[in-house]
């Protein structure tokens, strides 16, 4: 996925705190598992670059590092969309048994990246830049191919003579690229890594890009998207390249260099598949409208934009444009007008989850939480267990003073989402409101841990352990968890020194 230009950029800007964090946390998993601090064998002679469990733990550590340094989107509707479309494409890939985790970064930069463990990040700027859902799918298919072809660990294999710490930092630099927070130690190691990289490594990463393009187009066609969308998107990005100097290129163009040969190759591969007209899903347009609504400096500016675009018929999809208008009106506290626009949407699609959620949000913000909770309850009759609606329901239950009900709902959601940091944050609030303070501190510790805030997590457990009402078993569990977190912090500090 990444080109050697990343390394050149690293020399001048330094490494992010993310790079060091990932290296130091490489195999420290959530402490409900009895893992130690040993690092995996990478590029061993047997050919097993990394065991499935090792890759999974590396991916979890990678995700904690991302949350610690990047603005990861917490909106459940947006997350549900990117996971759904990602799963659809991954199901048509050449490795359907692998688990993928798709997430969004709140950034206007046009970029996407594949990390270890099947974690694939997508900047919101990529979604708003694409002109069709197939274009978005083409980028996801490309990143999925990087994962299924083990490009990350084949890069390790090409660096077998490098030390493990150097290889870990090198591959992290390949994945993330952009530098934000400098550390002298990270810069020193990165410079050493860069000095040891050979020209063959450049060719190797370019070969990865070609392979990801080829397999991505095949996957795109199998998943029912337009395979021509990849060369079309590349061509637009190629035209954009000419508008920038080399140091100003958007992240996607730096990490995915678009050349005339690459565009031609993509067109040739896509041409092997029959033409198909693939309509965009409504959800794609709704997510784009929600992102557009959030881009404005003030809600009033957003209201003006959506109102005028609807009046002048300047939109790709009228329904999603009206949805964006609704969100802008709610943010501007124009609740009566928001309800009028919602009535138009609900008359056409009363079962649309985004509209149900928006109506509940409008009622909640206008001080009618009980009515909002009933709206969501009715929605859950249609979609039992739906995650976005359940989270909204839990928030509303907390608003109307029913924390025990909220706690029960959220704990049921946790069974299938053990690494959802926002779920832990709501669980902490529900437990605290229900008078279960020790449990609240335990959940808050998990929220901080998954968010990459290790010291705050330790503080929460220390508070929980002071509760005199704890029985032996609870105290033992808290003590064990606390020890694991403290061991991890000590490991970080010793390596940092």
In the set 55, 75, 135, 213, the catalytic residue is 213
Long-range CB contacts (within 8 A, 24+) of 87-90:
88/223, 88/224, 89/137, 89/140, 89/141, 89/144, 89/219, 89/220, 89/223, 89/225, 90/144
CA atoms within 13 A on the CB side of 231: 17
CA atoms within 13 A on the CB side of 43: 17
Strands (E), 292-396: none
Q: What is the dihedral sign for C-alpha 337, 338, 341, 343?
A: negative
322 vs 209: CA distance, rounded Å:
39
Q: What is the DSSP string of 437-454?
A: HHHHHHHHHHHHHHTT-H
480 vs 471: CA distance, rounded Å:
14
Strands (E), 40-174: 101-105, 112-114, 119-123
Is 213 catalytic? The answer is yes
Is 248 catalytic? The answer is no
DSSP classification of residue 72: B
Is 152 within 8 Å of 116 (Cβ atoms)? yes
Q: Which two tokens stand for residue 4?
A: 């050697």
In the set 133, 143, 226, 357, the catalytic residue is 143
Largest CA distance in the chain: 70
Active-site residues, by number, are 143, 213
């Amino acid at each position: 996925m990444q080109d050697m230009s990343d390394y050149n950029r690293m020399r001048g800007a330094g490494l992010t705190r993310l790079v060091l964090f990932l290296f130091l946390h490489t195999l420290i998993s959530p402490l409900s598992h009895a893992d130690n601090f040993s690092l995996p064998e990478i590029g061993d002679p047997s050919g097993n670059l990394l065991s499935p469990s090792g890759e999974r733990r590396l991916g979890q550590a990678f995700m904690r590092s991302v949350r610690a340094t990047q603005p990861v989107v917490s909106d459940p509707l947006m997350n549900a969309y990117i996971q759904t479309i990602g799963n659809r494409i991954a199901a048509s890939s050449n490795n359907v048994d692998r688990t993928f985790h798709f997430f969004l970064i709140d950034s206007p930069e046009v970029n996407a990246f594949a990390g270890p463990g099947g974690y694939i990040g997508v900047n919101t700027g990529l979604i708003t830049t694409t002109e069709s859902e197939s274009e978005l799918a083409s980028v996801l298919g490309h990143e999925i191919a990087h994962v299924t072809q083990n490009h990350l660990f084949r890069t390790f294999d090409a660096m077998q003579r490098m030390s493990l710490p150097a290889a870990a930092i090198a591959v992290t630099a390949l994945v993330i690229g952009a530098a934000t927070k400098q550390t002298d130690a990270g810069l020193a190691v990165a410079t050493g890594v860069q000095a040891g990289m050979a020209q063959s490594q450049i060719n190797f990463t370019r070969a990865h890009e070609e392979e990801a393009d080829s397999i991505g187009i095949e996957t795109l066609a199998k998943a029912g998207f337009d395979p021509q969308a990849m060369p079309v998107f590349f061509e637009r990005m190629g035209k954009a390249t000419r508008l920038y100097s080399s140091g100003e290129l958007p992240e996607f163009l730096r990490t995915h260099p678009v050349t005339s040969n690459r565009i031609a190759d993509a067109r040739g591969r896509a041409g092997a598949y029959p033409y198909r007209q693939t309509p965009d899903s409504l959800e794609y347009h709704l997510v784009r409208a929600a992102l557009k609504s959030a881009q404005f400096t003030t809600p009033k500016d957003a209201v003006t934009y959506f109102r005028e675009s609807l009046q002048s018929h300047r939109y790709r999809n009228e329904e999603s444009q009206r949805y964006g208008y609704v969100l802008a009106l709610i943010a501007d506290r124009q609740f009566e007008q928001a309800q009028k626009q919602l009535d138009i949407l609900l008359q056409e699609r009363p079962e649309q989850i985004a509209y149900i959620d928006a109506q509940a949000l409008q009622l909640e913000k206008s001080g009618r939480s009980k009515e909002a909770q009933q709206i969501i309850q009715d929605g859950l009759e249609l979609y039992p267990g739906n995650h976005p609606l359940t989270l909204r329901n839990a928030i509303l239950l907390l608003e109307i003073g029913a924390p025990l009900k909220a706690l029960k709902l959220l704990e049921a959601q946790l069974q299938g989402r053990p690494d959802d940091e926002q779920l832990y944050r709501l669980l902490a609030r529900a437990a605290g409101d229900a008078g279960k303070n020790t449990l609240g501190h335990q959940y808050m510790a998990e929220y901080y841990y998954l968010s990459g805030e290790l010291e705050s997590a330790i503080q929460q457990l220390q508070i929980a352990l002071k509760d005199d009402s704890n029985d032996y078993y609870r105290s033992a569990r808290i003590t064990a968890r606390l020890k694991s977190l403290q061991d991890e912090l000590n490991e970080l500090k010793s390596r940092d020194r």
